[in-house]
């Protein structure tokens, strides 16, 4: 709940300011980011780890349609390709290359969010991270990013200031 609430609180004001919100459509914070951008009548773009006609996670078809109305839904895979485990690191690399600057709201020690963040850093992007409780398993990856120099943020204003 903390991650979902924090995501909405950070993304809505950015989307209202015209910041394009990119994410990977995964359940949890990814979908929360897309929904927050849509609620703010902003532009959001989803990079899928499957074909556009076989979206993953299952049940996300309505959200993809909403995203396509206000932004973009894209995939590097043929439309009927089902999700495969090895597609997701490629999706994360594509996200890092397109968005360049990455906000990590929550991340386990081994997660796609961390992979995207490290790739963004390699490409010269900025990684921002939302601090969380130290006893929270989904905070361990964020703590690692903060140790490595990610910019700590607690508000949309912090993000806007960091990214200029």
Give mean pLDDT in consecutive 10-residue pieces for the chain, a chain of 164 residues: 95 97 96 98 97 93 95 96 95 94 93 94 95 89 94 96 89
Is residue 17 within 8 A of residue 56, CB to CB? The reply is no
Q: Which helix (H) or strand (E) holds 72?
A: strand 72-74
Distance CA 108, CA 136 (A): 9
SS3 state of residue 96: helix
pLDDT digits (tens, 9 = 90+) for 119-145: 999 999 999 999 988 888 889 999 999
**pTM summary value:** 0.94
Q: Which of 50, 49, 45, 46 is nearest to 79 (CA)?
A: 50
What pLDDT, on a 0 to 100 scale, did the predictor assign at position 134?
A: 85
Element containing residue 39 per DSSP (H, E): helix 29-39
3-class state of residue 24 by DSSP: coil
């Amino acid at each position: 709940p903390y991650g979902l609430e924090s995501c909405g609180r950070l993304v809505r004001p950015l989307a209202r300011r015209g910041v394009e919100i990119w994410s990977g459509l995964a359940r949890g914070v990814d979908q929360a980011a897309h929904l927050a951008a849509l609620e703010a009548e902003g532009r959001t773009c989803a990079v899928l780890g499957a074909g556009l006609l076989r979206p993953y996670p299952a049940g996300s078809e309505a959200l993809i349609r909403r995203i396509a109305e206000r932004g973009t839904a894209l995939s590097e895979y043929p439309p009927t390709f089902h999700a495969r485990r090895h597609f997701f690191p490629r999706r994360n690399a594509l996200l890092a290359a397109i968005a360049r600057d990455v906000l990590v709201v929550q991340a386990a020690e081994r997660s796609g969010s961390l992979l995207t963040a490290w790739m963004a850093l390699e490409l010269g992007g900025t990684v921002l991270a939302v601090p969380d409780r130290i006893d929270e398993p989904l905070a361990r990856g964020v703590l690692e990013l903060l140790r490595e120099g990610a910019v700590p943020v607690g508000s949309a204003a912090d993000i806007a200031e960091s990214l200029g």
